């Protein structure tokens, strides 16, 4: 019987060459919008347009941005920038205006430095407004440039009206871009924009660019809001603080010059910091005008700079009482701040850019803030002593609370497991327990950890699937017994009044290999916590550590020394190699190593990539779109012994969304 030709139409259920589908253009975004943007509402797709306008102002072009909420549900953004170029791209032979809105990874912000169109910008991935276009039922763009106005219209991400050019009408602005888009409701939980978040976003642009005029026009109500801050960060922080500052505001800025050894010209930060004795704290950070609501390495740099400067002042003036030890949180606890960092090539976590991951940003911000605060404190000694009193009082209160916890635990009868390498501190908020896969990885973790506040419990092999194990029989399993005794909390159900007073660690972190086996161990441990320790999850005490899968050794380049970079997955690996290529280093000159497991890492590598609070990736375990009952039903479907048919149906329906690691 002859073989079936490769181009024959496959029978239903068959797997043939024609089964492979290639998503083109904006189709990936429209099929998986959650990978590219927030889908609870359209704010982020509007923000991408707004960020482009702000990047023009940051580059020194234009002093006005206007956003209009139209009656028909559309949103328009107008700026006075240079206008998007509309001629033909020299390589693609298509209008640049069309490429910007219809091609992923097409933009003017990849080339950084003096040779690029933008020295500093929030744009990094090159998918911004193309995602906005992909998820809009209609988008209109007009670019005013060189006395002409270029106009294009898109529908469902595709060109509806091709590029048209005409002379700019009399009285029209000389340059700038206007984008009007109609977000498609089918991609979002709600089509309504959160007005409070939008206003905060617009106000922040005015705060970070003193003198920039930002307006919000609401056609339905006829209301117009306007923001302009000549005093920048200082004015904004003083207006927003819920309580009077203990000492005058500490504000300043610092940027690298052309001859700086470690950072590019213009990189640095501006800040305003206030200390209050009571009330809520205000903490906002930005990178190249992009709000980073989840913080990141620039926040860590500010925290480290504050701590080192205040600690140095206290030691210089011999203000610290005997027996009191200062920690960073003692200084940071009552600090409110607004931080605006400028980073040449920012690396964000995810497409919506909520957290900055650039490791150099920690050193960048700390190196400019610390000397400035040290100088300020020693020029204002009376204010410095007031701040020192506040910080020392916080340290004393923390130590008293830790002593109370220690006494309460001293009468316990449970014997800690012998495999547990405990930490020295007894402060719940600081202590962390890492549940580590295997003795080899446990050894590296023990050597690389912070002995003061990080404990390690190695686990042997894969933990028991406890989804259908009766609670009374859990302690029969040695590994689960050791976990329960180490964390100091008994197994319980969601309906139980669980006693968390014996909890010994503020963070219980699952640390497994970055491969498929490691993912399986993660799932088994998550099943244990969700089923038998739900109150720990509900209270936010359970985390998953994300170690890297690849190490890239980058050789020395001129004055730049050799360096190591780490990638969580293939996507980050490609980004690192692309960055090396842009820096003039051939990809094949970089040495790529894949970690077979955590045990291959030495202590220093494990600390730098996975244990160090300032540089690690630590994900909190929390409920997503499903509530507790729905989550239990879903986990039961995945982990229950009698749910094989349901699992098979799930894999048939959604298996193509999973990338298999062989």
Q: Where are the domains of the chain?
A: 27-227, 233-402
Q: Tell me if residue 111 is catalytic.
A: no
214 sits in the region (left: phi over 0; alpha: psi -120 to 50; else beta) called: beta
The rounded radius of gyration (Å) of the Cα atoms in the chain is 28
> Do residues 639 and 467 make contact, with C-beta atoms less than 8 angstroms apart?
yes
Look over the chain and give the mean of its residue pLDDT values, rounded to a whole number.
Answer: 86
In 70-194, where does DSSP find H-type helix? Answer: 96-102, 128-134
Give the single-character DSSP code of 429.
T
Query: Of 517, 600, 614, 632, which one is the catalytic site residue?
Result: 517
Looking at domain 27-227, its CATH architecture is 2-Layer Sandwich (3.30)
Q: What pLDDT does residue 20 have? A: 54
Q: Tell me if residue 48 is catalytic.
A: no
Please tell me whether the overall predicted TM-score, pTM, comes out greater than 0.85 for this model.
no
User: Quick one: average pLDDT of 627-638?
Assistant: 86
Compute the Cα dihedral for 190, 195, 197, 202 and give only its sign: positive
Query: Of 345, 515, 569, 614, which one is the catalytic site residue?
Result: 515
CA–CA distance, 393 with 388 (Å, rounded to integer): 8
CA–CA distance, 178 with 198 (Å, rounded to integer): 18
For 401, other C-beta atoms within 10 Å of its C-beta total 14
* Cβ-count burial 247-260 (b if 16+ within 10 Å, e if not): bebbbbbbbbeeee
For the segment 452-504, what is each residue's pLDDT rounded down to a tens digit? 999 999 998 788 999 988 888 888 888 999 999 999 999 998 888 888 989 99
Query: Of 251, 482, 513, 608, which one is the catalytic site residue?
Result: 513
- Ligand-binding annotation for 125, yes or no, is yes
CA–CA distance, 98 with 107 (Å, rounded to integer): 11
Q: Which CATH number does 233-402 carry?
A: 3.30.230.10
> Do residues 340 and 286 make contact, with C-beta atoms less than 8 angstroms apart?
yes
For the segment 397-438, what is each residue's pLDDT rounded down to a tens digit? 888 877 654 444 444 455 788 889 999 998 998 999 999 988
Query: Of 184, 267, 427, 437, which one is the catalytic site residue?
Result: 437
Distances (CA, A) of 459 to 268, 442, 448, 464, 612: 43, 8, 17, 11, 21
- Ligand-binding annotation for 79, yes or no, is yes
> Do residues 61 and 80 make contact, with C-beta atoms less than 8 angstroms apart?
yes
- Ligand-binding annotation for 127, yes or no, is yes
Residue 208 pLDDT grade (very low, low, confident, very high; cuts 50, 70, 90): confident
Q: What pLDDT does residue 650 have? A: 78
Q: Tell me if residue 515 is catalytic.
A: yes
- Ligand-binding annotation for 52, yes or no, is yes
Q: What pLDDT does residue 657 have? A: 66
Q: Tell me if residue 184 is catalytic.
A: no
- Ligand-binding annotation for 124, yes or no, is yes
Nearest to 269 by CA among 254, 286, 284: 254
In 380-515, where does DSSP find H-type helix? Answer: 381-410, 439-448, 478-487
CA–CA distance, 1 with 20 (Å, rounded to integer): 26
């Amino acid at each position: 019987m002859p073989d079936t030709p490769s181009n024959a139409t496959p029978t239903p259920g068959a797997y043939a060459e024609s089964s492979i589908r290639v998503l083109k253009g904006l189709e990936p975004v429209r099929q998986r919008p959650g990978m590219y943007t927030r889908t609870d509402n359209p704010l982020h797709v509007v923000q991408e347009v707004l960020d482009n306008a702000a990047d023009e102002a940051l580059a020194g072009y234009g002093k006005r941005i206007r956003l209009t909420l139209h009656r028909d549900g559309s949103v328009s953004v107008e700026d006075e920038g240079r206008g998007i170029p509309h001629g033909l791209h020299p390589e693609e032979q298509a209008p640049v205006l069309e490429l910007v809105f219809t091609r992923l990874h097409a933009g003017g912000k990849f080339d950084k430095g003096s040779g690029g169109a933008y020295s500093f910008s929030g744009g990094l991935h090159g998918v911004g407004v193309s995602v906005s276009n992909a998820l809009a039922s209609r988008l209109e763009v007009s670019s005013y440039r060189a006395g002409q106005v270029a106009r294009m219209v898109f529908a469902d991400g595709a060109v509806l009206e091709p590029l048209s050019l005409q002379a700019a009408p009399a009285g029209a602005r000389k340059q700038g871009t206007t984008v009007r888009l109609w977000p498609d409701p089918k991609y979002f939980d709600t089509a309504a924009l959160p007005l409070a978040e939008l206003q905060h976003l617009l106000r922040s642009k005015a705060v970070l660019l003193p003198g920039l005029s930002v307006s919000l026009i609401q056609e339905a109500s006829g209301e117009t809001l306007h923001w302009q801050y000549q005093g920048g960060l200082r004015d904004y922080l003083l207006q927003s603080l819920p309580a009077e500052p203990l000492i005058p505001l500490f504000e300043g800025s610092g940027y690298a010059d052309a001859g700086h050894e470690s950072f590019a010209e213009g990189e640095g930060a501006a800040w305003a910091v206030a200390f209050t004795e009571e009330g809520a704290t205000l903490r906002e950070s930005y990178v190249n005008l992009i709000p980073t609501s989840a913080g990141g390495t620039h926040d860590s740099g500010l925290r480290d700079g504050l701590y080192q400067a205040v600690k140095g002042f206290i030691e210089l003036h011999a203000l610290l009482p005997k027996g009191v030890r200062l920690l960073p949180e003692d200084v940071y606890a009552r600090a409110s701040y607004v931080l605006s960092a400028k980073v040449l090539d920012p690396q964000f976590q995810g497409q919506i850019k909520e957290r900055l991951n650039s490791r150099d940003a920690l050193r960048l911000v700390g190196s400019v803030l610390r000397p400035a605060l040290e100088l300020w404190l020693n020029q204002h000694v009376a204010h410095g002593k007031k701040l020192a009193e506040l910080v020392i009082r916080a340290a004393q209160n923390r130590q008293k609370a830790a002593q109370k916890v220690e006494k309460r635990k001293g009468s316990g009868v449970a014997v800690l497991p012998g495999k547990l390498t405990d930490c020295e501190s007894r402060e719940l908020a600081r202590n962390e327990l890492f549940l580590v896969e295997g003795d080899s990885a446990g050894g590296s973790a023990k050597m690389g950890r912070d002995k003061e506040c990080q404990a390690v419990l190695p686990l042997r092999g894969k933990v028991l699937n406890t989804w259908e194990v009766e609670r009374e029989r859990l302690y029969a399993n040695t590994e689960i017994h050791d976990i329960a005794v180490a964390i100091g909390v008994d197994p319980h159900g969601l309906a139980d009044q669980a006693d968390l007073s014996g909890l010994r660690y503020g963070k219980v972190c699952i640390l497994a290999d970055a491969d498929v086996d490691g993912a399986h161990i993660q799932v088994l441990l998550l099943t244990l916590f969700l089923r038998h320790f739900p109150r720990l999850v509900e209270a936010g005490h359970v985390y998953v550590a994300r170690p890297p899968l690849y190490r890239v050794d980058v050789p020395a380049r001129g004055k730049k020394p050799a360096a190591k970079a780490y990638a969580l997955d293939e996507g980050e690996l490609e980004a690192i190699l692309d960055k090396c290529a842009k820096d003039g280093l051939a990809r094949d000159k970089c040495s790529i190593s894949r970690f077979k497991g955590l045990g291959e890492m030495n202590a220093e590598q494990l600390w730098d990539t996975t244990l160090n609070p300032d540089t690690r990736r630590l994900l909190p375990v929390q409920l997503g779109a499903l509530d507790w009952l729905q989550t239990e039903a879903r986990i039961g479907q995945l982990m229950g012994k009698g749910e094989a048919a349901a699992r098979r149906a799930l894999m048939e329906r959604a298996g193509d969304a999973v990338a298999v690691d062989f």
